[in-house]
Chain A
Amino acid sequence: MEATATSGAFWLRLIVGLVIVLAFSQLNALFLVWLERKVAGHIQVRLGPMEVGPHGLLQTIVDGIKLVGKELITPSRADRKLYALAPVLVFMPVLVAFLVLPFGPNLIIRDMNVGLLLIFAFSTFSVLAILVGGWASNNKYALLGAIRSVAQAVAYEIPLLLSVMSVVLMVNSFRFSELVMAQQRIWFVFLQPVAAIIYFICATAETNRAPFDIPEAESELVAGFHTEYSGMRFGLFFLAEYTNMFIVCAVATSLFLGGWHGPFGFSFKIPGVVWFLAKTYVLLFVLMWFRWTFPRVRFDQLMNFSWKVLIPLSMLNLVITALVLKIV
């Protein structure tokens, strides 16, 4: 029967994909934490981690071991079930998003026709997880951090989706492979520069990175929503943040930077997955560059920037795109 054969291949693909995704997300987080500290160090004209391993390469592994060794504290009168659930909840959508990311022409675990929608639908879960974690902690700072985070996520989700929509209008598909294939000759960053910039700003805000790191604002709110989390529960939040960073940059790569294609149709005989990862990590580096350059925005500035600048601009961009597509 043909159906069983395809379902067998289907399950194999899914299981192999899951294993790769789990391994990759951990390794990626290990590398990014190390890179973040190195970039921070060199931007501040110092070295960053140097002690453990050559150029501190083993530093994050040691940090991870330290985190595992720490006691898991549950604050008194916290909502125990929700409190324990939040770190798991924050990591779940991250794994789902990897399902549809197009690493290469044949390196998509599931090439769904709603791939892009799936990522954005599930990325909302991390907001929920932050709210649950902050609320269940029985701590005013955590709750305030969580509430601010939700307000921020709601505000920045709108221009994010609007800017992505203008690309989707051009390709007429949510399917990642088609979105990438449409950019074989020219990347969308040249056709939709405004959308690309808005997407990247919103992605920074969505991943709670500086200058939009309102949820963890350590100088104002202790540590925001994860104030009460210790040990590996905190580690999961951290891991999710870094994996989320990878995901938004991977989506930016496949929407605006041509995914697995080389520039202007030249591939230089380099495999697509290398192109894809290289572009993604360049974007990740830019995210880190942002973090160590810009001061944290005030909360009213944050809201004003989204509602008064990003949303009108992305709306305008979408309308112009639609008009141009209709006329041409």
Chain B
Amino acid sequence: MGYWKDIVLGGWSLIEGMKVTGRALFKPVVTVQYPRKRLEMSPAYRGHIEFKIFPETGTHGCIACGTCQRVCPSNVIKVQGVKAHARSGKIATHYVIDFTRCSLCGLCVESCPTQTLKFSTEFELAGDSRWDGVVDLVLRMEESRS
């Protein structure tokens, strides 16, 4: 009697499948018409890293200590800083990250002593050359402010 059972059960499974797709037909769509409509990015989204801007100082808090540079397993961070005068701390002048080789492990964000690093919500990262993935965060911050 396996023959009839196969037909009935198989037929029923087809109807079950059609129920699933039939319900999906009336669900609200989840896609948006992208270039014109954008979704709010989740705060958990991990784009490339970015400077946090602290409201007290109005700028980032990077002291160019190089912890992130040392902790980075992919070796993609290069930080340069200067001392304004002999007894002050360093301030970053260049913070270059090669995002094309970043593995998004987040060690830099975790290890930052001044907590000035965060993940950006940048997702439109298409570029024409591999140098388009190399970002200077200091420059980027200044550009975004102006």
The 21 sampled A-B contact pairs (Cβ below 8 Å) are A42-B26, A43-B21, A43-B24, A43-B25, A44-B24, A45-B27, A45-B29, A45-B30, A45-B31, A46-B31, A47-B31, A47-B33, A50-B33, A289-B18, A289-B25, A292-B21, A293-B14, A293-B17, A293-B21, A294-B17, A313-B7
Closest residue on chain A to residue B17 by CB atoms = A293
- Nearest B residue to A290, CB-CB: B18
CA of A47 to CA of B30, assembled, Å: 8
**A322 within 8 Å of B (CB atoms):** no
Return chain B residues, CB-CB under 8 Å to A313. 7
Task: Tell me the bound Cα distance from A12 to B24 in angstroms.
Answer: 48
A309–B4 alpha-carbon span in the complex (Å): 9
Contacts of A293 in B (CB 8 A): 14, 17-18, 20-21
Interface assignment of B55: CB less than 8 Å from any CB of chain A: no
Chain A CB within 8 A of B58 CB: no
Question: A47 to B33, alpha carbons, bound, how many Å?
Answer: 9
How far apart are the CA atoms of A106 and B38 in the complex, in Å? Answer: 54
- The minimal Cβ–Cβ distance linking A304 to chain B, given in whole angstroms, is 11
Residues of A within 8 A of B (CB): 39, 41-47, 50, 289-290, 292-294, 309, 313
**A290: chain B residues within 8 A (beta carbon):** 18
Is B22 on the interface with A (CB-CB < 8 A)? yes
A140 to chain B, nearest CB (A): 33
Chain B residues within an 8 Å CB radius of A47: 29, 31, 33
Contact residues of B between 1 and 31, Cβ < 8 Å to A: 7, 14, 17-18, 20-22, 24-31
Q: B28: which A residues are within 8 A, CB to CB?
A: 45
The answer for the CA separation of A294 and B20 in the assembled complex, in Å, is: 11
In the complex, what residues of A have CB within 8 A of residue B18's CB? 289-290, 293
- Least Cβ–Cβ distance between A80 and chain B, in angstroms: 43
A36–B18 alpha-carbon span in the complex (Å)? 16
A39→B24 CA distance, assembly (Å): 10
Contacting residues, chain A, for B24 (C-beta < 8 A): 42-45
A309 contacts which chain B residues (CB < 8 A)? 7
CB distance from B124 to the nearest CB of A (A): 20
Top 10 closest A-B pairs, CB basis?
Answer: A46-B31, A293-B21, A43-B21, A293-B17, A42-B25, A45-B30, A47-B29, A43-B24, A293-B18, A45-B27
Among residues of B, the one whose C-beta sits closest to the C-beta of A308 is B3
Considering only CB atoms, which chain A residue lies closest to B31 in the complex? A46
Bound Cα distance from A41 to B30, whole angstroms: 11
Measured CB to CB, the closest approach of chain A to B113, in angstroms, equals 45
Complex interface: chain B residues within 8 A of A289 (CB): 18, 21-22, 25
Closest CB-CB distance, A285 to chain B, in whole Å?
A: 10
Q: Per-residue CB proximity of B29-45 to A under 8 Å, as 1/0?
A: 11101000000000000
Kindly report which residue of chain B lies nearest to residue A293, judged by CB atoms. B21
CB nearest to A46 among chain B residues: B31
Residue from B21, B22, B24, B28 whose CB has the most chain A CB atoms within 10 Å: B21
What's the Cα separation between A207 and B30 when bound, in Å? 32
In the complex, which residues of chain A have a beta carbon less than 8 angstroms from the beta carbon of B29?
A: 41-42, 45-47
A305 to chain B, nearest CB (A): 9
* Chain A residues with CB below 8 A from B21, complex form: 43, 289, 292-293
In angstroms, Cα B27 to Cα A46, docked, is 9
B19 to chain A, nearest CB (A): 9
A290 to B18, CA, bound (A): 7
Give the shortest distance, in Å, between A45 (CB) and chain B (any CB): 5
Beta-carbon contacts under 8 Å, B41-90 to A = none
Residue with the greatest number of chain B CB neighbours at <10 A, chosen from A41, A293, A294: A293
| Closest chain A residue, CB of each to CB of B32 | A47
Bound complex: CA A43 to CA B18 (Å) = 10
CB distance from B66 to the nearest CB of A (A): 46
Contact partners of A42 in chain B: CB under 8 A: 24-26, 29
Q: Give the distance in Å from the alpha carbon of A293 to the alpha carbon of B7 in the complex.
A: 18
CA distance in complex: A292, B20 (Å) = 11
Contact between A46 and B17, CB atoms less than 8 A apart: no
CA distance A309 to B27 in the complex (A): 35
Bound Cα distance A166, B31 (Å): 47
Chain B residues within 8 Å of A294, by CB: 14, 17
Closest to A286 in B: B18
Other than A43-B25, A47-B33, give 11 A-B pairs with Cβ distance below 8 A. Answer: A42-B24, A43-B24, A44-B24, A45-B27, A46-B29, A46-B30, A46-B31, A47-B31, A50-B33, A289-B22, A293-B14
